[in-house]
Structure formats: structure tokens, C-alpha cells
Structure 1
Amino acid sequence: MFWKSFILLTAYAIPYVLLITGVITNVWLMLAAWMFMGATMSGIGFSIMHDANHGAYSQNKTINKYMGYVINLVGGSSVNWKIQHNVLHHTYTNVEGVDEDIDPGILMRLSPHAKHYKMHRLQHIYGWFLYSLMTFLWITTKDFRQLFRYKKMGLTKAQNVNVGWQLTKLALSKVVYYTIFLAIPLLTIAAPWWIIVIHFIAMHMVAGFILGIVFQPAHVMPTTQYPLPDEEGNLENDWAIHQLYTTTNFSPNNWFLNWYVGGLNFQVEHHLFPTICHVHYKKLSAIVRKTAEEFGLPYHQQPTFWKAISLHASMLKQLGQPEKVRA
């Protein structure tokens, strides 16, 4: 994990340094550098920030805490991310109205229980573009809206988050982020300001697109379920079995993909053992699969990444129809 972190963080920093020091001057090479930063930004999120904020990067809590702050380097908030991802998504996976990962707003329908709009008939076409906007929400309004929503839900109190102090930190972190990745490039790179802004946008579009096509095929698939709680708010299955019904693995034998996405192609293992470092997921998968089969439980897995993407596209098309897909 140390060397992986070093490689990814260095790969993120080198293009930035080459850009602001004037080593790269060709406009197309500049664009390539920014886009490469977008790709490494995703890798940092997958492999470093994700494990750290789950408490899985290290056995040392302090190391986890500070490595979790890496999300601020890509414009996000570790506090909000922990509530959204660790608390809501991992506890209520694919549960409509609770799991924010399947609630992108009215522009897309990622659950058969969500309200249908006519535009959803084309979401299998335009949805990929919307994925590319994911990190733009991080660096603009999403963190602030989430913080106030979580306060209203009582989640900030439950997680011992001081809302006033967190709001201050959010504002300061955004100022620092925009200073480093937009203001300094505007002041130092010998190119028209609009080109630099376009390149900054391209970086985030690459990062958002990659994040979207890795996270969404893990849950929005024809094979996964969307359970609803009963009148008392209880789900049919216990937590572990619920994860098996709502989660999908893909491309288990692609070593580079596994390295780059921080083991998130083994989503089943990640959801069952979120506090275990992702470097162990591949070996864990054989045990989990055997145990699931032994108890007659599903173990959803697609052989390749492209097969998972294809099925996710098919699911987007199905969910775009007004008829209910499946419970």
C-alpha cells in the first residue's frame, strides 16, 4: 500500500508540476497532462482514500485519518463521504430513499422504485455524460448540501460531527483546492485563461467518468435486487445476505484493473469486509464464493469489465422504461 500510494500520488503531482513550471507548453500535451491527472485522481480515490476512510488502509487509526484526507486533494470531503458511503450506502445498499448512490436526482433513474420521467427513456445514452460530472458536484455544491441534509437527518450528531466547524473546514478546503488547481495554473501556465479552464474541466470529466463506470456496475445491474423495507422499516434479509443480493463483482482476473480500482472489482468482498484492505480481496473471494454456494446464496460476478459495463447499460435502458423492472 505504501508503494502503491507513492506511485499514484507521484503520478498525480508530476503533470501538475510540469504544467505550472512551463515544461509542457504544447496545448495538446497540456490537455493530455490534465486528463492524465483526472485518471490518477480516480486511482487515488479508489486505492488510497477509499481504504483509508473505511479504516482499512492501515492498522494505525492516525494513518487512516490523514490518508483519508486525500479526498480533499480531489475536491471532496472525508467527513461527508464517510456518512454517505460508510453509513448509508454500506448499510442500506440499493434501498430506495436511503442509498444516495442510486439517487442522482431526477436526471437519472437508477432504481425501479424511483419516479419515472419521460427523459429516462434515453438515460442509457446520456447517462455516461452525467457520470463525467460527478466530481464537479464535489467541488461545488454537493458537500454543503449534504452537510445540512445530514444535520437534519441527525447523522452529524450520531457521527459526532460539529456542523459549524465542519462547514468552516469545507469552505477553507474549497478555497485551498481552487487555489492549487485553478488559480495557480491560471497565473503560471502560458496559455489563454479559457484553455486552462477547459483543461481543468476535462480533468474532472475524466475522473468523474471513470468513477461512475466503476461504482455503478457494482450495484445497478440486472442481477442485483432493490429491496424495500416493511412497514416497520425492516429489510427482509440480514445485513450480510442483503449485500450478496445487491452487489456484483466483475473482471476478477484482470490484475491491472484490480490494482487501479483498489479491489473495487471485488465489490462483494468489499461490502462484506469493508475494514479489510483491498489487497486481500482476491484471496477472500474464493472463500466467500464457496460459502455463498454452500448456503444457496447468490454470488454475482461478471467475467470482464466490458461485460459488466454492457449489462449496466442494459439496466439503464430497462430502468428508463415506465414499467417497474423488478423488486
Structure 2
Amino acid sequence: MPQAAMAVAERTRDSAGTTGSDFAPLLRTVKGQGLLERRTGWYAAGITVNLLALAAVFTGIALLGNTWWVLLLTLPLAVFWSRTAFVGHDAGHAQITGNRRAGRAIGLVHANLLLGMNEAWWNDKHVRHHANPNHIDKDPDVGVGALVWTQKQAAQREGFARRLTRNQARLFFPMLLLEGIALKISGFQYLRRQPVRERALSALLLTAHLGLYATLLLTVMSPGKAVVFALVHHALFGLHLGMAFAPNHKGMEMPDPDGDRWDHLRRQVLTSRNVRGAALTDWFLGGLNYQIEHHLFPSLPRPHLRLAQPLVRAHCEAIGLPYAETGLIESYRQALAHMHEVGAPLR
């Protein structure tokens, strides 16, 4: 839920300040440099630019009309839809504003209305992930689904799922092509778990998204072209989002459910991987390439992640804590290698 997401962000902002914590001095340093202060103006400018870009793409669709050339616009639309998803993600973490009502409004507009993705579903899932990243019993991102993340999970697969797991590394990117549609389906399925008032608003916005999207396509192109456009667009959107999230935790440490409890610093650093790069990488991955910093400080505004990185890396080096950082291609290689290893006993 948005309120839960913001509460987690605020607790992280103010917690772990005990004298004996390895996280406490890092928290004081980051706070002392003002990096936890929100950048509402930066976000307002970014949101405005993204909305104008979306409007330009939709105008292009209308101008091109009923021609197969319109499929060329599925790529920029998928790219700017991903920017929209990143805004919704940041709103859920209270990075944009400390006002919960305003933050939820931003999330509802960007997720439910513009993307057709239920922000309540996403925030519920994402808060649980942040609380226990890569924990096999508590992180929904490493639960059994289309993919599995441990050999113990793989050993329990049967039938088609077993064949899928056997080849999951080579099928990972092709499967991401279905993620754009899967996000919509999961959002509608989550409606029945929401309180009645929230459910009504979420359902209204999700339905409005589908209606507006279908109306736009069917108004300017034939039904056949509209279906192809929607499928290609959602495939590219899912691929882009998957490419942004895949490098973050796959192949990193997985806490032993029966072992010692890690503190906040180790739980977040040891399970996360950063991706090196310049401004283009930051833009393409929506700041998620600073995954370690994002997990340590979920409410840290996106433009401050790069500024916090040297502080976090130096602190980890000072206390002898491994700090994982690699290039983008290498991050994918490591993630796929882990998935391949998980499926090895089935081959």
C-alpha cells in the first residue's frame, strides 16, 4: 500500500541510529550532507518532460494513423512508459514528496491511469521485497513463479514448469516480453485484496486506462493493426522494465532463513548489486543502477543516489563489507549464470 511504502521509507530515514550500529555513522553522514532532503522541483520538471514526451508520441500515432509505420512508435512509447513507471516507483518510496496524499496521487496517476498497473499491488509487493531482499521465505521477488531462484525450488518443479526451469536462463529475456501484460493482470487480480474504497478508485483508474488506450488505437488504425501495436508496445515495455530490474539482486547473496539475522546494512548491501555507468545509464535504468544506495535509503531522491554512492562505498570499505558493482552487460551475465546454475540439476 502507498501508506505502508512511505512508512517504511520514513522508518529507514530515522531508524538504525543506535550507537553500536554499523549503519548509524553512514546514516549521519548522508543526513549531514542533506541528501535525504527531497528534490520536488527536480521531479516536477522530470514529470513534465515525460508527460510532454508521451503527448508527442501519441500525437505521432494520431498523425501516422492506419499504417504499419506506426509500429515504429512502439519503441519510444515503451521507453517513456518505463520513465512513467520509475516515477510511480519513486512516489511509492516517498522520494518525491513527504505528503502521503500527494505521493499517492502521483502514484495513482502514473501507475493506474497511465500504465494500467495497480500501484497498491506494486507497493505491497515492493515493500516486502525491500524489507527482506533475496530472503527466500519473505521476498516475493524470489518466490516460486515462472522462474525459480534456488536449486531447492527447482527440485520441486514438475511437468512443463520443470522443463521451463531447466532452460530458464536462456528463456529469461524472451519471457520479459510478456511482463507488460502480466503487470496489468496482476493489478486487476489484486483488486479483491484492497479495501472497498481503495478498490473502487483503483478499478476506476485501471478501467479508464484500458478504455483510453483502446480508444486511441482503434480511432486511428484498424483493429488488426491496433492489436499488433498493443502487443509489440507491451512486449518492449516489459523488456525494458525487466532489463532495469534484472541486474539488481539476481545472483547475489541469499540470507539463510534459519541462520543469523543480518543487520540493515548487511541485509541491503550483500544482497544488492550496483551497475556502473554515466548519465545515460542512470536515465535508462531509472536510478536503479544505484541499487545498494536505494536499498539502504529508500526515500533518497533519485538525483542524490549518485552523490551518496561514494559515501556508501567508502563506508563499506572501511568496515570490510563487500560492495558489489559491475558493468551492465556483466550484471546480466551474472544474473543469467545464477539462473542457469539453479536449473543445472534438472538438466
- The counterpart of 1:145, out of the listed 189, 206, 214, is 189
Residue 59 of structure 2: which of 14, 17, 22 is its match? 17
- Identify the residue that residue 88 of structure 2 maps to in structure 1: 49
- CA deviation after TM superposition for structure 1 residue 285, in Å: 0.6
Q: Which residue of 83, 88, 102 corresponds with 1:63?
A: 102
> Residue 263 of structure 1 contacts residue 281 of structure 1 at CA under 8 Å; is this kept in 2?
yes
1:241-252 superposed matches below 5 A:
241-251=266-276
**TM-score, normalization: structure 2?**
0.79
What's 2:197 paired with?
165
Rounded Cα–Cα distance in structure 2 between residues aligned with 1:91 and 1:282:
22
CA contact (8 A) 2:132 2:138 kept: yes
Would the aligned equivalents of 1:91 and 1:239 in 2 still touch at CA under 8 Å? no
Q: Would you identify which runs of 4 or more consecutive aligned residues in structure 1 move more than 6 Å?
A: none
Shift of 1:147: 5.0
Structure 2 partner of 1:180: 212
2:122 to 66, 75, 81: 81
Which residue of structure 2 aligns with residue 282 of structure 1? 306
**Counterparts in 2 of 1:84-233, with a 5 A limit?**
84-86=125-127, 88-103=128-143, 105=145, 107-116=146-155, 117-140=162-185, 142-148=186-192, 151=193, 163-186=195-218, 188-189=219-220, 191-221=221-251, 224-230=252-258
Distance 2:144 2:190 in 1: 13
Give me the identity figure in percent: 24
What's the secondary structure of 2:147's corresponding residue? coil
Deviation of the 1:198 alpha carbon = 1.1
Q: Which residue of 1 aligns with 2:21?
A: none
- Structure with greater helix percent: 2
Which AA in structure 2 matches 1:245? L
2:165 and 2:343 in contact (8 A); partners too: yes
Aligned length: 296
Unaligned runs of 5+ in 1: 152-161
Partner Cα distance (2:178, 2:78) in 1: 12
- The question of whether the paired residues in 2 share the 8 Å contact of 1:112 and 1:226 is answered with no
- Give secondary structure in 1 for the equivalent of 2:274: strand
- C-alpha deviation, 1:289, in angstroms: 0.6
Go from structure 1 to structure 2 and tell me whether the alpha carbon gap of 1:254 and 1:112 turns closer, same or farther (over 3 Å shift): farther
1:112 Cα deviation from its structure 2 partner: 4.0
TM-score by length of 1: 0.84
CA separation in 2, counterparts of 1:52 and 1:225?
Answer: 28
Shift of 1:266: 0.3
